[in-house]
Amino acid sequence: MCKDSKIHSFLQQLPKCEHHVHLEGCLTPELMFSLAARNGVTLPDPDTRPEFSSAEALYERYEHFTSLDDFLSYYFIGMSVLKQKDDYEALAWEYFQKAHADGVHHAEVFFDPQEHINRGVPYETVVMGFKAGCQRAEREYGMTTKLILCFVKHLPASDASKVFDLAWERGDFELGGALHGIGASSSEVGPPKDMFKEIYATAHSKGVQRTAHAGEEGDPSYIIAALDAYKSQRIDHGIRLIDSPSLMERVVQEEILLTVCPVSNIKLRCFDHISQVPIRMFLDAGVKFSINSDDPAYFGGFILHNYCAVQEAFGLSVTEWRTIALNSIQGSWVEQDRKLEMENRVHEHIQKHQA
Ligand code: HPA
Ligand SMILES: [Zn+2]
């Protein structure tokens, strides 16, 4: 919530594109407990892990993440309650309702199939459930949506390769298919920086869109690996770019979009305060970025919460918000007509605000 109600409503209605949200990161404790009961999934015992005694206790624990890996340990337990197609659809639909209320017009959402497959949930169940949620958002809200298949770095690259091959053979990356690109996430520092190099090279040769988490906790060399070894078209997070002026210059020249997640960066202790997230530096340097929620059910707020946090910390002008909105549209993996339509909506919204 922005302190100024006029600015709050300006930001709420500003047409947004979200490029960095993990559907599994939209699983609220309430939905987690209800799906665990319905599916007979055992969550950690509250006697030994009191944080799993209630939704309130989990929310309390979520206030104290110490690092990306600390958060991920909760995120991977949470998603274990997802079993049936309806669970996946319900989770996606909960996200899209929040996103719509926050002024999202176009959403490109991540999911982690390897984790579900490893628990015995068929790939098809996951994709069909999430896809049904996307289709409902398109039908009921006129949103455009894209599903991005994320590989997780804490599991073997050979597993990721099998998932990619399966998705490719099913035609999921074809026009009208369920998927629109690949990403890479989970623990950053530790696994090899270029562990999915072969998959990304295949994806590139087949014309599949590519993004990758890099430079969240890892130094700029992780961003370089994503650009060089993965030919990544976007960088998810990318905040450690602040440690390399020459790389920042390259990102500007190559018009790489960073999908920045300010509240996530605070919750996972990348920075102490939002004012340290390099929003001002990126705007001044001409680095293109979008603002995103990452794992909103774990970090205490959806996309508008991130927009407001940025506004409170930086006091951006309407012109700067226009730049952010237009760069977000330009960096989206969506047809040119749709980009033009969204750009027009941004201009109309700003004119109305200034009238
Ligand atoms: O912020 C993140 N970073 C890496 N992996 C993730 N998976 C969910 N959220 C994240
Ligand atoms: Zn992420």
For residue range 183-226, what is the model confidence (pLDDT) as tens digits? Answer: 999 999 999 999 999 999 999 999 999 999 999 999 999 999 99
CA 348 to ligand 2 center in whole angstroms? 31
11 φ, ψ to 5°?
Answer: -70, -35
ipTM score for this prediction = 0.95
Q: Could you give the count of Cα atoms lying within 13 Å of 200 in the half-sphere of its Cβ?
A: 22
What's the pLDDT score for residue 40?
97
CA 113 to ligand 2 center in whole angstroms? 15
pLDDT tens digits along 223-249: 999 999 999 999 999 999 999 999 999
The one catalytic residue among 24, 89, 94, 216: 216
pLDDT tens digits along 275-296: 999 999 999 999 999 999 999 9
Q: Strands 289-291 and 257-260, how do they pair?
A: parallel
Annotated binding-site residues read 20, 22, 213, 294-295
Query: Does residue 259's CB lie within 6 angstroms of at least one atom of ligand 1?
Result: no
Instruction: Tell me which residue has its CA closest to atom 1 in ligand 1.
Output: 294
Contact 231, 254 (CB under 8 A): no
Contacts of 46 (CB under 8 A, 6+ apart): 52, 53, 57
What's the pLDDT score for residue 19?
98
Alpha helices in 206-293 (DSSP H): 220-228, 245-253, 262-267, 279-285
Active site (annotated) includes residue 216: yes
Q: Which residues of the chain have pLDDT under 50?
A: none
What's the pLDDT score for residue 175?
86
Domains of the chain: residue spans and CATH = 5-354 (3.20.20.140)
81 φ, ψ to 5°?
Answer: -80, -10
What's the pLDDT score for residue 227?
98
User: Is the full-model pTM beyond 0.95?
Assistant: yes
Distance CA 129, CA 144 (A): 17
What's the pLDDT score for residue 1?
84
Distance CA 234, CA 236 (A): 7
